[in-house]
Structure 1
Amino acid sequence: MAPYETEDSQGSGQSAVRRKAVRYAVPVTVVGVAAAAIGLVPALADSGDPDLPKVTARELIEKIAASDTEQLSGTVKIHTDLGLPSLGGAASSFGGGAAGKGSSSADPKEKLTELASGTHTLRVAADGQDRQKLSVLDDASEYSVIHNGDDLWAYDSASDEAYHATADGKGDKNDKDDKAEKGRRGSGAPATPKELTDRILKASGDHTSITVDGTAQVAGRDAYRLQIKPKQSGSTVGAVTVAVDAKTGTPLKFTLTPASGGAAVVDAGFTSVDFGRPAASTFDFKPAKGTKVTEADDLPAQDRPGKGHEEFEGVQGLDGLTTIGEGWTSVAELKLPKEAAGLASGAGSADLPADASKFLSSLGDRVKGDFGSGTVYSTRLVNVLVTEDGTVYAGAVTKDALVKAADAG
């Protein structure tokens, strides 16, 4: 099937606020795909080329927007290759592992970061906004996060530990709904394939080509392939491809390929899917006798998932956040606190062991420009420049584009 490209979405009626949001949202959304939403994006292998009625990109976007899928279950396979360096045993230089005093190996905040690299198989189920379950399957163990009404449970079979948190039972229904929605969105990262796709489409603006790039079969279902590509040079994003279920409009597969070529940075989707309502027992959980249970309320406030989401609405301890440039090549600029500036820029810190400081410096490339000097830390998708005065520039842009933005800033 031949591609169909959308018309430019310029339009004189677009408000200044929307234009500002569009400039910033594209790279931030892409970063969110790679860094924050990895564990919840529902299948690697697609096949076939079903003969489906031709649709335009605009019609397919409308189909996604109209999708009302709230019940589903299935198996997900996700492969992530950000090109992050392996820390190996270097973590010991920083004084031990990431788990804090009183924390649990079942804490979702700690466990789900493992999905940021490698290949993983997950089992997912959802029944509206009040019931979801995600299980990470390993050869000899299983890790599950279960949301059922006011309860959030996480269970790690390898350590036989469970983590439990409850929603705040105070306030009227509208207040609870607002808090639930705010908590669900957390830091603003998309939580489902549909949210992720919607954000990218809304942020595409005049800097993006959106086409229907043929058809495919994903998890045994006929699907259209929606391809989203930057028109600008300097972006590290090559293309985003979303396989959209031809019947329901539900995104089934999400693939992000880098401009540098090679394997996808994120390739995630269903290998099997059922749009029927999962059994209510799917979301039941009761720890067995002998299981170690950690209650969120017994932990320090900053370690409680679901608590204090307001802190994510503004970056605490940072001196403002501005953007440089437009669209896919826009760069976020912010200021680090004084105590973190030297360490992050590779200049070192008196509080850090020499070996650890040397290791951190080896992860980045020293650069100079009109902005001064600093260190660039790179992945296959995101580059981050930290200057010696503590200014941070970050975006899904090449290193040269990042330095150019820092010079302009």
Structure 2
Amino acid sequence: MAPYEPEQDTTEADELSAGRRKAVRYVVPLAVAGVAAATIGLVPALATSGDPDLPDITAQELIEKIAASDTEQLSGTVKISTDLGLPSFGSGMTGGFAPGAGGGGGDDEGGKSAADPSAKLMELASGTHTLRIAADGPDKQKLSVLDDAAEYSLIHNGDDVWAYDSASNEAYHSKDGGAHADKNGKGGKGDRKDLPKELPATPKEFAEQALKAAEKSSTSVKVDGSAQVAGRDAYRLVLKPKDSGSTVGQITIAVDEKTGTPLKFTLSPAGGGSAVVDAGFTKVDFGKPSAATFDFKPPKGTKVTEEGDAAKKPGHPGGDLGDFKGEGPEGLNVIGDGWTSIAELKMPGGQGLPTSAAGSDEVPQEAAKFLDSLGDKVNGDFGSGTVFKTRLINALVTDDGKVYVGAVTKDALVKAANAAH
């Protein structure tokens, strides 16, 4: 196919902006809308079987194609991997650090069901996972996380959202509007519960976040050839930060040539090496899924936790952590914008971490091992502190209890802390 246009210049930012804003609004067309789980190289079989010869298209036209996509019905299999460079502590990493997670299944001391999505879906934040998804408009979505001997499913069907964990034979159930019901128990018009949205799980959801960054003039945007994903021809849209200091190298989104649906998302780090995030379809069908796909009835003997019951138990986010629900941490301030934005906030209690985490009775041994393996001591005009590193997100925790975090380098964090001093 003929060469694509050169990288978009900053003078074209205004021209691209309108299309990008539309794309942000429509790029996740309620297909598996909001299914949770974070910001993965897929196996070679997912990549390409030869670049297809497609008609030329500009970056502006491709973004508008995404915005115009009206895909609401699909089914398929997604492979998602994350490589943040975190050390592995086996089950302790997910069981010990994930919110509300407890070893062994069942209700733990925090009162959470083993099927509660807020903890279960955090597992998608690391490693490689296979998902089976289906969607039929805004009221019917299903996502299943497939393990060797078990399956975890989230099902949204009309007024009901179910989560089922086959390993523990536990289910979690919530009703439409349950969290915002009025005195008659009815939810408001805007209270409909889609599947949880803590972390993205599909190429569309990742693409939505990336296109928000593409609204900034600090982003270069271009079409870089074509690919074949899950047997379908696709264009490759590439986004790159122009500003120095970001840990993001580039983001590549494979966009279905016929439907405008994102089929694959890859985030490559500025430091090189394998992708930090890679999520893509291995199989996809844009036909209407069977209605039975979204039917769910707890199997006999299943322990069912209702949303309201769990929220009343000690340790549940609806209780002890309720002050943070729907609001940012106290004192949150965002420094800068775009790719190099840094969040500044205060540690609870206004104190930093213990001088030696491993030697503190206040820090569990497993958590101390995790923190010490990531931390680098730093000094500056702000005083002293520790920078905790991953391949994408870095955080500076100062000894006087301030936190600076972002997808930026260690030097950028220290510079921000010095400027705020």
TM-score after normalising by structure 2: 0.80
The match for 2:3 is 2
Mapping 1:1-20, distance limit 5 Å: 2-4=3-5, 5-8=7-10, 9-11=12-14
| Whole-Å separation in 2 of the counterparts to 1:310 and 1:247 | 46
The match for 2:411 is 400
Q: Is the 8 A contact 2:81 2:127 kept in 1?
A: yes
Alpha-carbon spacing, 1:276–1:10, altered in 2? closer, same or farther (3 Å)? closer
Q: Is the 8 A contact 1:161 1:293 kept in 2?
A: yes
Q: Is the 8 A contact 2:82 2:125 kept in 1?
A: yes
Q: Does 1:261 align with 2:272?
A: yes
Q: Does 1:135 align with 2:144?
A: yes
| Whole-Å separation in 1 of the counterparts to 2:69 and 2:116 | 32
The match for 1:98 is 101
Q: Is the 8 A contact 1:342 1:348 kept in 2?
A: no
Residue identity over aligned pairs, in percent, reads 63
The match for 2:175 is 166
Q: Does 1:314 align with 2:327?
A: yes
Alpha-carbon spacing, 1:123–1:89, altered in 2? closer, same or farther (3 Å)? closer
| Whole-Å separation in 2 of the counterparts to 1:83 and 1:156 | 28
| Whole-Å separation in 2 of the counterparts to 1:115 and 1:335 | 28
Alpha-carbon spacing, 1:296–1:345, altered in 2? closer, same or farther (3 Å)? farther
Q: Is the 8 A contact 1:137 1:143 kept in 2?
A: yes
Q: Which runs of 5+ in 1 are unaligned?
A: 23-32
1:98 counterpart letter in structure 2: A
Higher relative contact order (CA 8 A, sep 6+): 1
1:281 counterpart letter in structure 2: A
SS in 2 for 1:120: strand
Aligned counterpart in structure 1 of residue 225 of structure 2, from 206, 210, 214? 214
The match for 1:30 is none
What is the CA deviation profile of residues 140-184 of structure 1, one whole-angstrom value per residue up to 9, with x for unaligned ones?
211111111111111111222212111236569x97442227x66
The match for 2:244 is 233
The match for 1:54 is 56
Q: Is the 8 A contact 1:93 1:353 kept in 2?
A: no
The match for 1:180 is 192
Q: CA deviation at 1:248?
A: 0.5
| Whole-Å separation in 2 of the counterparts to 1:353 and 1:309 | 24
The match for 1:281 is 292
What is the CA deviation profile of residues 8-53 of structure 1, one whole-angstrom value per residue up to 9, with x for unaligned ones?
24549x9xxx9xxx9xxxxxxxxxx9x95459xxx94333211110
The match for 1:72 is 74
Q: Does 1:379 align with 2:381?
A: no
| Whole-Å separation in 2 of the counterparts to 1:280 and 1:150 | 15
The match for 2:213 is 203
Q: CA deviation at 1:115?
A: 1.1
Q: Does 1:303 align with 2:316?
A: yes
Q: Is the 8 A contact 1:64 1:194 kept in 2?
A: no
1:72 counterpart letter in structure 2: L
| Whole-Å separation in 1 of the counterparts to 2:38 and 2:75 | 18
SS in 1 for 2:235: strand
Q: Does 1:152 align with 2:161?
A: yes
What is the CA deviation profile of residues 332-351 of structure 1, one whole-angstrom value per residue up to 9, with x for unaligned ones?
11112216633599597663
The match for 2:29 is none
SS in 2 for 1:297: helix
The match for 2:27 is none
Q: Is the 8 A contact 1:347 1:388 kept in 2?
A: no
Q: Which runs of 5+ in 2 are unaligned?
A: 25-33, 103-107
Q: CA deviation at 1:64?
A: 0.4
| Whole-Å separation in 1 of the counterparts to 2:354 and 2:159 | 41
Q: Does 1:107 align with 2:116?
A: yes
| Whole-Å separation in 2 of the counterparts to 1:97 and 1:309 | 14
Q: Does 1:391 align with 2:402?
A: yes
The structure with more helix, counted as a fraction of residues: 1
SS in 2 for 1:206: coil
| Whole-Å separation in 2 of the counterparts to 1:153 and 1:325 | 40
Q: Is the 8 A contact 1:296 1:304 kept in 2?
A: no
